[in-house]
Amino acid sequence: MGTPRSSRQSLVMSARANLAAALSRWLGNGLLLAITSVAAIGVLFILFFIARDAVPFFQLRGFKEFFTSTHWYPSQEPVEFGALSIFVGSGLVTLGAALVAAPLGVAAALCLSDVLPFGVRQAVKPVIEMLAAIPSVAYGFFALVVFAPWLQRLGAITGTNALNVSIILGIMALPTVVSVSEDALQAVGRELREGSYALGATRAETLLRTIVPAASSGILAAVLLGIMRALGETMVVWMASGNAAQIPDPWFNFLEPVRTLTATIAGDMGEADHVTGSARYHVLFAMGLCLLLFCFACNLISEWVVSIQRRKLKGE
């Protein structure tokens, strides 16, 4: 009998072996860190490459026209790249989606975290997961082929309008809003709830006066993430928003067709692709950059807000 040679060797402590071990540990750590950084480098690369192709547009056409004019004629001479109506379109459907998703989502999250018994909650979870899992193109298909004719039968002049898209985007954003705000509500903890009940408050009073204020920043983060999802969504708006580059009259008229940033990028790239280097091509990257920066901002704000809540709950 005898121990295997290799394991006996590893017990020997020599300076060289120590160095080798330290070196390999250091290398291994570095390698892991390098691989992990791929995601981080990915974000920077995305920002860089979108910006690289967006800058030529602003060099060619400046800022003023893009952000203040509503004349969007990228393909007929003289070309005009006024994207204001497209920004308004994106804003309008995102606002609509938030109006659908925020109240519904927060109410559902409150109900899930504090009202429903455990068994029912377990049954509702898959519903939320399924809503989150359905591919966006299937939502878009539904919006265009099923939902738009319904709206038209109800009296809208066209079924592919801002209302249609807002409702569908709202439904798509629901899972995010529900799950993130439920997490925030759960994070508040038992003590506050028990304290409030002990003072004789009803469930509604406990939730609305104590729990929601304590979780407010988390709920805000949830709504922000939902808004981000709606703003960045492409297929639904491309298929069902009507794609008319115009500001509705009045601006909150949800029954008019609109056009969004994402849909413009998706729809115009096919024509612009072979004229790489033209303003036509770069304007789409400029839109992408605007989207990207907005989403970065939303994301950072929501992270910041969540960390504030975490600190506050820990501190109290």
Partner 1 sequence: MGMKARNLLDRLFSGVGVLAIVVMGLALVLILAPIFSRGAGAYIFKATVEHRRMLLERFERGNAEALAAEAEAVREARAPVYAMLARYAAEDLAGLSGREKREARQRLEEVEDILQELFGPMPGAATPVLPRQQYGATRWDRAEVKLDRLLYVETWDYSDSGSMGQQVLKPRREEFAGTALEPLFGYVETHLEAMLRPEWTFYWGFLTDSSFDAHIFGGIWPELVGTIYLTLGAMVFAVPLGIVSAIYFAEYAQEGRLVSLLRTCVSTLAGVPSIVFGLFGLAFFINTMHVSRSKSVLAGSLTLGMLILPTVIRAAEEAIRAVPHSYKEAAVGLGAGRWRTVVTVILPAALPGILTGTVISMGRAAGETAPIIFTAAVSVGKVLSPWETLTQPTPALSWNIYNLCTEHEAVDEIRHVQFGMAATLVLAVLLLNLVAIIMRARISNKLKG
Nearer to partner 1, 85 or 234 (CB): 234
Nearer to partner 1, 208 or 275 (CB): 208
How crowded is residue 142: how many other Cβ atoms within 10 Å of its Cβ?
17
Nearer to partner 1, 77 or 118 (CB): 118
CB of 292 to partner 1, least distance (A): 5
Phi/psi for 202 (5° steps) reads -75, 175
Nearer to partner 1, 23 or 32 (CB): 32
CB-side neighbour CA atoms (13 Å) of 102: 16
Nearer to partner 1, 174 or 250 (CB): 174
CB-side neighbour CA atoms (13 Å) of 298: 19
Q: Which of 245, 315, 249 is nearest to 287 (CA)?
A: 245
CB of 78 to partner 1, least distance (A): 26
Nearer to partner 1, 77 or 198 (CB): 198
Nearer to partner 1, 103 or 213 (CB): 103
Cα distances (angstroms) measured from residue 177 to each of 121, 135, 220, 227, 239: 16, 18, 9, 9, 24
Nearer to partner 1, 43 or 60 (CB): 43
Phi/psi for 116 (5° steps) reads -75, 145
CB of 127 to partner 1, least distance (A): 5
Let me know if 124 is exposed, middle or buried by CB neighbors in 10 A (0-12, 13-18, 19+): middle
CB of 277 to partner 1, least distance (A): 11
One-letter amino acid of 281: Y
Spatial contact of 13 and 252, defined as CB atoms under 8 Å apart: no
Nearer to partner 1, 60 or 138 (CB): 138
CB of 190 to partner 1, least distance (A): 20
CB of 128 to partner 1, least distance (A): 7
